[in-house]
Amino acid sequence: MSYRGLLAALGALVTLLFAASLLVGPAALGFTESVVALLTGRGEAVVLVMREIRLPRALLGLMVGAVLGLSGAAMQGFLRNPLAEPGLIGVSSSAALGAVIALQTGIAAAFTLALPLAALAGAALSVLLILGLAGPRGGALALILAGIAISALAGAGVALVLNLSPNPFAAMEIVFWMMGSLADRSMVHVALAAPFMLLGTLMLLTLGRGLDALTLGEDAAEAMGVRLGRLRLVLIFGTALSVGAAVAVAGTVGFVGLVVPHVLRPLVGARPSRLLPAAALGGAAMLLAADIAVRVIAPDRDLKLGVLTALVGSPFFLHLIWRMRRLEA
Amino acid sequence: MMLALSNLTVRRGDCPVVDRVTLTVGPGEFVGLIGPNGAGKTTLLRAALGFLAHEGESSLARLTPRERARAVAFLPQAREIAWPVDVETLVALGRAPHLGRAMGVEDRAAVERALQRMGLEGYRARVATALSGGEQARVLIARALAQETPLLLADEPVAGLDPESQIRAMQVFQDLAAEGRAVVASIHDLGLAARHCTRLVLLARGQVVADGPPAAVLTAENMAAVFGVRVFYAETPEGPVVQPLGVTR
Amino acid sequence: MANPGGRFLRGCVRGSDPLGAGLRTVALCASVAGSALLPARAQADAPARVVSINLCTDQLAMMLAAPGQLVSVSALAVEPQSSSMVEEARGIPQNYGQAEQVFLLRPDLVLAGAFTARATVDLLRRLGVTVVELPPADSLDDVAAHLRLVGAAMGREAEAERLVARYEADLARLRVSAEPAPAAMYYPNGYTTGAGTLADEILRHTGFSNVAVAAGLAGGGILPLERLVMAEPEMVVTSLPYPGASRSEEILVHPALQAVRERAGSAEVTDADWICGTPHVLRAVAGMGEARRGLDAMQLSQAAP
């Protein structure tokens, strides 16, 4: 399949899943009724359901999935390591810590943008830490160990903050921040997160050529005119913007950034630049599919997204480690 | 002038790793950078490119990244190929500094020339990471060639290659020089260096100890003092022959 | 509930109790199952030191206890968000419901909730402490039953009867007879209460029908927001938010729910008056009756011009 063909196919898949996401829900609405309500605004309650409940959910599924796939592909390209994934290396949990702190200190209530900004700060800090502890020369082991340490620390921070909250529900939400969910999100959340995610996405998409050149290592890339310092900054902020905003509204959903690039890499000839847009589309498809699945499997229970992505993702992760172990042996 | 270094110094802590190196390389030269392990060959090349903080001057370090990428191609010692891309794609990466929005006709032609020079026409669809070490080295040289810069800096480009590949690669560098370009390559194999380079620069503890035609650099005194070896040197109808024979200390 | 008597049996103390408590328990079961009332016991038999480790038993005990009889209530009793008797509870030492702490209070009787603190209750019983467990109240009638049950356990039957009489009179007075208007109870995480719950009965008592029941929900459970929207309730009842932030409560400010609220009436209620089967539910009943009349007024004013 040609590259354009692949993108077109992924685009079609995303469109299909987006439509399916709009049509799946606990309220059994008729197909025509839903579509008419969504497009024309006729039919009071149905319009509310379609426009205020299902549309934001589908939009967030699309955006969160896209940024997770994209940032996974970008980080892997930069670190030249297929295990680099925002969820696995602690970027998402650090963003969650930032978000939880903003919520529980009341800053987010006083100043709406504080929520995504705090999550962004958490994410940026962890990316800096990761690059410092396990930079491109650090290898897979250093990356995973640094990731485990950062995840554990951020996870403990999230649990601590939520447990200390005066709100009795907060402590029960540790699982949301660890596993992620799109249930009952609204257009408010879309509006809050979308600008950040969009900016982050645009930043990450500019990295293609630099990441291609990095295939040959840093010195070769630099000699080919890549400004490594700038590339690193764009990567850090692009990832922090997109993952931070995604986590602030949807919690941490792991493995999307691992599975999607892994599956798509052979289909794009392993070129990091081509992988970026493909992984964004693939991530959107995976998250939309997962979010449809949680609603079909347990319509009334708010099964967490991360549960499904981990079920799909962990075997890939094990497979990758197995393969890398063989290569290193 | 393609490369001009003046008093280039790189320090690690207080110790100079490259010590007041002054050097100019002009068109038509194939300079072999020789010296024992730790003499500062790699550091010299990287500092000349402006990758390292340094004192003194390097003509390349003054350029913007894009200008530099059109002036010089660099072949690092670590032969890194991070992703399983095909050979043609990998070689085409060398066109990055020249690209507009996409690969043009001239870019494709440059890739083609590079593949031909390195005898890789039959490999274009092969996955680079699945090739043997020697084949990967050739592919990476082709990538640097595709950059089609006046100057090529190569850090141990022929280490680990079989004799045929070594000789072919050295001939390619010789050809480039003959075409009016310039090549600076660090080389451990004194025999290859003597036979193919137009000029050798002998480096010891960061300093240039000798600089000149191979016969003038590969003297018994220099070899003993810098490498600690006795060397057999003879001019033959096939060119100079150099063979280290034994250690002197 | 098909078999209230059987259900209440769970509240009974069994086996290893000292003789007096065992006897009392047997009698208790009979009384709450709806048969003959317990004959008035001598005050001397009454437990002198009562400890309550459950929010609902806290409140019943505070209403029923003789001065000095109740030596400790749970820490929740002074939490305004959950307790209706914060003022009364302030004067009584609080416990955190752990067996060790409770045991050291040397109680003659421990009052506990039936579905909480299982391990604590088991441990206390092994230590020979009499424990009476109170099931959650599922109906307005349970309030009277619970008053009697706790009253009997504490040896305060007369006080219990007095409170029951007043409760039943007030309850009857607060009944709203009107065409049932569909109402939705909505709590954090989309939780609601369906058939067979106290909240459902409060709604029915005050001229509402519960959309969760129409949606087929029995007991407590999640009603997805979009099903709530599709049910088009005329009244949305939500709880007041707790301090601090939680994602669970965000659903209560969801734009879709706000839109439903704008069309319908809405009431914000304090959890405290709804959680426990005590006479304080009358405040909830009164509030909902108020809301029901407000709804009629709203419709009238809409119809008038």
Domain ranges for chain C, please list them.
4-171, 176-303
pLDDT class for A175, splitting at 50, 70, 90?
A: confident
In the stretch 152-171 of chain A, residues with CB closer than 8 A to chain C read 165-170
In the stretch 208-227 of chain C, residues with CB closer than 8 A to chain A read 221-227
Question: CB distance A49–C251 less than 8 Å?
Answer: no
Element (DSSP H or E) covering residue B241: strand B239-247
Structure token digits, residue C255: 């734009």
Please report the pLDDT score of residue C26 as a whole number.
35
CA–CA dist B46, A17 (Å, integer): 50
Question: CB distance A167–C249 less than 8 Å?
Answer: yes
**What's the rounded mean pLDDT across residues B57-75?**
95
**What's the rounded mean pLDDT across residues C2-18?**
33
The b/e string for C221-258 (b: 16+ C-beta within 10 A; e otherwise) is bbbbbbbbbbbebbbbbbbebbebbbbbbbbbebebbe
Largest CA distance in chain B: 59
- Please write the tens of the pLDDT for every residue from A244-297: 999 999 999 999 999 999 999 999 999 999 999 999 999 999 999 999 999 999
Residue A231, min C-alpha distance to chain B (Å)? 13
* Total CB pairs under 8 A between chain A and C: 90
- Please write the tens of the pLDDT for every residue from A198-252: 999 999 999 999 999 999 999 999 999 999 889 989 999 999 999 999 999 999 9
Share of chain A above pLDDT 70, in %: 97
Considering only the top CATH level, what class is C176-303?
Answer: alpha beta
Question: CB distance A53–C225 less than 8 Å?
Answer: yes
Residue A89: what are its φ and ψ, rounded to 5°?
A: -100, 15
How many of the other CB atoms lie within 10 Å of CB of C265?
A: 20
Residue A309, min C-alpha distance to chain B (Å)? 25
pLDDT class for C14, splitting at 50, 70, 90?
A: very low
Largest CA distance in chain A: 64
The closest CB to that of B96, out of A224, A265, A266, belongs to: A224
The closest CB to that of A270, out of B68, B84, B140, belongs to: B84
CA–CA dist C34, C8 (Å, integer): 10
Query: For B226, which DSSP code?
Result: I
**What's the rounded mean pLDDT across residues A34-58?**
88
CA A133: distance to chain centroid? 22
Structure token digits, residue A203: 């930043």
- Please write the tens of the pLDDT for every residue from A81-106: 888 889 888 999 999 999 999 999 98
Which among A117, A251, A106 is positioned nearest to C245, based on CA atoms? Answer: A106
Residue C241: what are its φ and ψ, rounded to 5°?
A: -70, 150
Structure token digits, residue A270: 């392993």
Residue linked to tokens 């690092």: B76
The closest CB to that of B80, out of A216, A223, A265, belongs to: A216
Question: CB distance C229–A49 less than 8 Å?
Answer: yes
Question: CB distance B96–A222 less than 8 Å?
Answer: no
Contact by Cβ (8 Å): B177, B197: no
Give the chains touching B; criterion: ≥3 Cβ pairs < 8 Å.
A
Residue linked to tokens 């079920």: A311
CA–CA dist B231, A77 (Å, integer): 47
- Please write the tens of the pLDDT for every residue from C240-275: 888 888 888 889 889 999 999 888 878 888 888 888
In the stretch 80-109 of chain A, residues with CB closer than 8 A to chain C read 103-104, 106, 108-109
Residue linked to tokens 């396990």: A134
Looking at beta carbons, which residues of chain A come within 8 Å of B69? Answer: 223-225
pLDDT class for C13, splitting at 50, 70, 90?
A: very low
Give the chains touching C; criterion: ≥3 Cβ pairs < 8 Å.
A
Q: Indicate the pTM of the whole model.
A: 0.85
**What's the rounded mean pLDDT across residues B112-132?**
95
Query: Chain C: residue nearest A24 by CA?
Result: C226
CA–CA dist A136, A257 (Å, integer): 18
Question: CB distance A299–C224 less than 8 Å?
Answer: yes
Whether the CA torsion C185, C191, C192, C197 is positive or negative: it is negative
Residue A269, min C-alpha distance to chain B (Å)? 6
In the stretch 10-69 of chain A, residues with CB closer than 8 A to chain C read 25-27, 29, 44-46, 48-49, 52-54
* Lowest mean per-residue pLDDT among A45-54, A227-236, B128-137, C238-247: C238-247
Strand pairing category for B3-12 and B55-58: antiparallel
3-class secondary-structure state, position C25: helix
Based on DSSP, count helices (H) and strands (E) in chain B, helices before strands. Answer: 9, 11
What region does A185 belong to: left with phi over 0, alpha with psi -120 to 50, or beta?
Answer: beta
Structure token digits, residue A327: 């290569």
CA–CA dist C155, C43 (Å, integer): 6
Query: Chain C: residue nearest A109 by CA?
Result: C245
Please report the pLDDT score of residue A167 as a whole number.
86
**What's the rounded mean pLDDT across residues C162-180?**
94
**What's the rounded mean pLDDT across residues B166-172?**
95
Which CATH number is associated with domain A61-328?
1.10.3470.10
Query: For C218, which DSSP code?
Result: B
Question: CB distance A224–B93 less than 8 Å?
Answer: yes
**Domain range B3-247, its CATH number among 3.20.190.10, 3.40.50.620, 3.40.640.10, 3.40.50.300:** 3.40.50.300
Quote the radius of gyration of chain B (alpha carbons, Å). 18
CA–CA dist B24, B22 (Å, integer): 7
Contact by Cβ (8 Å): A225, B94: no
pLDDT class for A299, splitting at 50, 70, 90?
A: confident
Site from A21, A24, A169 to mutate, C interface, most C CB atoms within 10 angstroms:
A169
Please report the pLDDT score of residue C35 as a whole number.
33
Contact by Cβ (8 Å): A305, A291: yes
Which CATH number is associated with domain C4-171?
3.40.50.1980
Chains C and B touch (3+ CB pairs under 8 A): no
pLDDT class for C16, splitting at 50, 70, 90?
A: very low
Structure token digits, residue B129: 């990471």
- Please write the tens of the pLDDT for every residue from B229-246: 999 999 999 889 999 999
Question: CB distance B74–A219 less than 8 Å?
Answer: yes
Share of chain B above pLDDT 70, in %: 100
Question: CB distance B83–A271 less than 8 Å?
Answer: yes
Contact by Cβ (8 Å): B37, B156: no
pLDDT class for C42, splitting at 50, 70, 90?
A: very low
Please report the pLDDT score of residue A138 as a whole number.
63
Contact by Cβ (8 Å): C199, C185: yes
How many of the other CB atoms lie within 10 Å of CB of B37?
A: 6
Residue C286, min C-alpha distance to chain A (Å)? 27
How many of the other CB atoms lie within 10 Å of CB of B235?
A: 10
* Total CB pairs under 8 A between chain A and B: 80
Please report the pLDDT score of residue A89 as a whole number.
87
pLDDT class for C79, splitting at 50, 70, 90?
A: confident
Contact by Cβ (8 Å): B209, B233: no
Looking at beta carbons, which residues of chain A come within 8 Å of B49? Answer: 219, 222-223
**What's the rounded mean pLDDT across residues C74-81?**
89
Looking at beta carbons, which residues of chain C come within 8 Å of A108? Answer: 245
What pairs with residue B153 in β-bridges?
B74, B184
Please report the pLDDT score of residue C296 as a whole number.
81
Site from A52, A59, A190, A295 to mutate, C interface, most C CB atoms within 10 angstroms:
A52
The complex's ipTM? Answer: 0.93
Residue C102, min C-alpha distance to chain A (Å)? 24
The closest CB to that of A223, out of B69, B81, B85, belongs to: B69
Please report the pLDDT score of residue C39 as a whole number.
40
Question: Are C4-171 and C176-303 in the same CATH fold?
Answer: yes
How many of the other CB atoms lie within 10 Å of CB of B210?
A: 19
Contact by Cβ (8 Å): A77, C249: no
Please report the pLDDT score of residue C300 as a whole number.
67
Given a cut of 70, is residue A2 above it in pLDDT? yes
Please report the pLDDT score of residue C41 as a whole number.
43
Structure token digits, residue A46: 């149905």
Query: Chain A: residue nearest B80 by CA?
Result: A216
pLDDT class for C11, splitting at 50, 70, 90?
A: very low
Please report the pLDDT score of residue A327 as a whole number.
65
Looking at beta carbons, which residues of chain A come within 8 Å of B70? Answer: 225
Question: CB distance A220–B65 less than 8 Å?
Answer: no
Domain ranges for chain A, please list them.
61-328
Residue C183, min C-alpha distance to chain A (Å)? 15
Site from A49, A105, A295, A304 to mutate, C interface, most C CB atoms within 10 angstroms:
A49
